[in-house]
Amino acid sequence: MPLILLLALLSMLTGASLASGLLSALPLRPGLIGLALMLVSAALARRHWQRSAHGPGSLERSCWHGLLSYSLLAGHLAALLWRMGPVLDMHSLRGHALAIDSWTLIIGALLSWQVARDPAPRRDERDAQFAAQALSGSWYALLFLLLLLILALGFGERTVVADFNQPLLAHLLILIVTLACAFHQAAQLRLYRLEAAAEAEAA
């Protein structure tokens, strides 16, 4: 579990740095830098898994990719909202530039999945069971995040929340869904690692 949380945190920080303006002096857009990082990391992961005698299965590979991709996208979107809020102007020059970066990262997630995925997909009943258990947990995470937003909207009339405009609220909902997806991948990976630890102890 510590490894899962560490990689998720590093991915979120990477995504946040891409939207923070720290890379504005570079000749490439931050979105393109993020896309390149995603492709390179996917290629390295695939190479590592192919060399490993006991590499992860198809669905576990998908979970690792999903965890890192969703975490990076969530970090990027959170930093974007922090910079643009509380009134999100989607039609400003900066808004357009950050939107292009966001879509570039989404494309990077899709392309990197094609690189990292198992070339011979396979799954069994265990995969379906773990996916169902993790989905149940992610629903609670989603409800918790939505509850926080509802409470903020309901009781934050004298705070900065009262200044949120409709585009920002829409993107907050997107952020909540993205975080719930990342939680789902993390919960599923935890089940795989618990199973691997139990098998190691039995051996």
Distance CA 34, CA 53 (A): 30
Position 70 scores a pLDDT of 97
Position 203 scores a pLDDT of 60
Distance CA 35, CA 134 (A): 28
Asked if 142 and 176 touch (Cβ cutoff 8 Å), the reply is: yes
Position 2 scores a pLDDT of 84
Q: What is the DSSP letter of 120?
A: S
Asked if 19 and 88 touch (Cβ cutoff 8 Å), the reply is: no
Position 118 scores a pLDDT of 81
Distance CA 147, CA 170 (A): 15
Q: Which region holds residue 198: left if phi is over 0, alpha if psi is between -120 and 50, else beta?
A: alpha
Whether omega before 30 lies within 30 degrees of 0, making that bond cis, reads no
Position 117 scores a pLDDT of 87
* Average pLDDT of the chain, as a whole number: 88
Per residue in 154-203, pLDDT tens? 888 888 888 888 889 999 999 999 999 999 999 999 998 888 778 777 76
Copy the structure tokens of residue 144. 């918790």
Q: Which region holds residue 28: left if phi is over 0, alpha if psi is between -120 and 50, else beta?
A: beta
Counting as low any pLDDT under 50, the low residues of the chain are none
pTM of the model: 0.91
Position 99 scores a pLDDT of 86
